[in-house]
Amino acid sequence: MRFSPGTVKQINLLETDIGRPLSNISTNIKFETIIEDIKKVLADGSIITKEIETNNGKWYQIMTMPYVQQADHKNNGAIITFNDITELKKIQHELNISNKMLGMAVESTEMGVWFVDMKTHEFNPSVRLKALFGFYPEDDMTYEAAVAQIVSEYQPLVTKAVDAAANFGEKYDIEYPLRGFHDGKLRWVKGIGNFVLDNEDKPRYFTGVLLDITVHKQDEIRKNDFISMVSHELRTPLTSLQGYIQLLTSNAKKTDDTFSVIKLDKAHTQVKKMTALINGFLNVSRFEAGKIYLNEQEFEMNDLLNEIVKEITPTIANHNIVLLPGPPLSVKADRDKIGQVVNNYLSNAVKYSAQGKNIEISCKKLNSAIEVSVKDEGMGIKLQDQEKLFDRYYRIESIDTQTISGFGLGLYLSAEIIQRHRGKVWVESEVGKGSTFYFSLPLS
């Protein structure tokens, strides 16, 4: 009957084609079913959509629909529309290639992949993911079934990590052991995931990968067992040595032997340092073996900070410790371990800043969390070192730090403690001007 001007350009129709049978019309579109589609539309009012390629490599989405006149509401013909989707097809083709390459990469690393629809709660595990949890490829593995295979004491940690990622936008990155469903095999896995948000910034999908780290973890466990054993063996003679030093110091004071008192006091300080290092190694081993548990209770953070400042001030003669006033803020956490983190921050501030400098401690509310900071006026930290400070055994190597003792355990343990409380640790620093170490915890 008629065609729009755009059809001339798109499919090469001519004015002289009007009135000719469709079977006699030549276009550049490979549309072999056009007559059958029109007949179906005329017969039952269907709407038919297809994707068709032209002879010159272009792609169109073709829709054939009824032509209904408003006067009598009768189907008097068919309308055919052509929508150019060539660019969309190119993108789709490139995406398919990327997906294949990604699939090959995932398969080569033997990673399991999961996908959860947060609206329907549908859990879609890959075959490899099923295998890691000890299921067969044909098994129906639900999310609940997967969690059930995780070693019981680690289940709360995993669910907390998922909740933290969903509710607070934290990165899901966790290691845990699981027991295979069919084979009963113990495996250590590392899960990395993220939530995809919808238009309302609410979690829509939860997706990620799972990697078998059993061999690496077994090596780590053997190493930690060795460190723990050696540390325990060293503590016994150190305790005896400390007892002898205290006894000799007492005798030296009775005889007014000032020289011996001074030397024994230095020996006592060195034994304390050695004991602290050994305790640090033991704590690392316990953390990585999952043998340190949190004794959570509700307490006022400012009360804890006041106690720590009162305890540490007499032992620090060359620095000014200042606790800035703040509002009363309650947290539910392990009070002793949070105190350990604050003490570590203060100890570092003293070690890495010159005598006579101020060290400020503050506590304030930050959205739904509290933020504690320890600020010094020390040497500062380079940007490339800031990212690694909380890594295990990491120490800044420079001329300024050569005479400062330590094994890089304090900040690592602090980070582990805060992360177990679903909190965060970070540092802000400028070389030559000082550093501020932070940690945050959820409010009660």
pTM above 0.85, yes or no: no
Q: Note whether 5-85 and 296-442 share their fold.
A: no
322 vs 317, more confident: 322
CATH code, 109-212: 3.30.450.20
232-250 tens-digit pLDDT: 667 778 778 888 888 888 8
Find out whether 125 and 114 touch, Cβ atoms under 8 Å: yes
Residue 404 pLDDT > 60, yes or no?
A: no
- Which whole number is the average pLDDT over 249-258? 88
Better-predicted residue by pLDDT, 415 or 234? 415
Computed over every residue of the chain, the mean pLDDT equals 83
Q: Indicate whether 159 pLDDT > 80.
A: yes
| Four-CA torsion 375, 377, 378, 379, nearest 10 degrees | 110
Please name the residue ranges forming H helices in 109-196.
127-132, 143-148, 155-168
Which comes out higher in pLDDT, residue 169 or 396?
169
> How far apart, in whole angstroms, are the C-alpha atoms of residue 408 and residue 394?
5
> Where do the domains of the chain lie?
5-85, 109-212, 226-288, 296-442
Q: What is the mean pLDDT of residues 23-39?
A: 77
pLDDT for the residue 198: 79
275-321: pLDDT as tens digits: 777 766 666 666 655 556 677 899 999 999 999 998 888 878 788 89
Give me the CATH code for the 5-85 domain, please.
3.30.450
Compute the average pLDDT of residues 169-175.
Answer: 84
Fold (CATH) for 296-442: Heat Shock Protein 90 (3.30.565)
3-state secondary structure 234-290: HHHHHHHHHHHHHHHHHHHHHCCCHHHHHHHHHHHHHHHHHHHHHHHHHHHHHHHCC
The three-state DSSP-derived secondary structure of 202-227 is: CEEEEEEEEEECHHHHHHHHHHHHHH
